[in-house]
Amino acid sequence: MDKITLSGMQFFGNHGVFPEENKLGQRFNVDVELMLPLNQAGRTDELEHTINYAEVFYIVKEIVEGRTYKLIEALSENIASELLQTYTNIIEVTVRVIKPHPPFPVLFNGVTVEINRKRATE
């Protein structure tokens, strides 16, 4: 399957279980992998046969910055669901949300949630 990947998107959101996370907010990194057929786009060189990744960026931005989630699992799920609903040519989507600075008194490279969702077949 062909794939379009948007990686390293950075947004500021107020997600987390702790009240200070909801109040102060923090940076989140998001990657999405969109599996869809790209052969027609490759042959025609027409945007209508693929996904406009600028639109995808703004959809993800709106979800990450638009409301507060306690869990980045829920944030990831909503991103995947919206992308599958918006673009009928996406067959499968993987969403990776990275919380680079979780509120723990230890040093590590953050917490990542990765989900994979497929379009339901009739």
Give per-residue pLDDT as tens, 65-82: 999 999 999 999 999 999
Q: What is the CA angle 77-80-82, rounded to 5?
A: 105
Q: Please give the positions annotated as active site.
A: 99
Distance between CA atoms of residues 32 and 93, nearest Å:
7
One-letter amino acid at 21 equals E
Give the domain 3-118 fold: GTP Cyclohydrolase I, domain 2 (3.30.1130)
Give per-residue pLDDT as tens, 42-101: 999 999 999 999 999 999 999 999 999 999 999 999 999 999 999 999 999 999 999 988
Q: pLDDT above 70 covers what percent of the chain?
A: 97
Q: Taking the model in full, what pTM does it have?
A: 0.93
**Dihedral pair phi/psi, residue 110, rounded to 5°:** 100, 180
- Find out whether 119 and 90 touch, Cβ atoms under 8 Å: yes
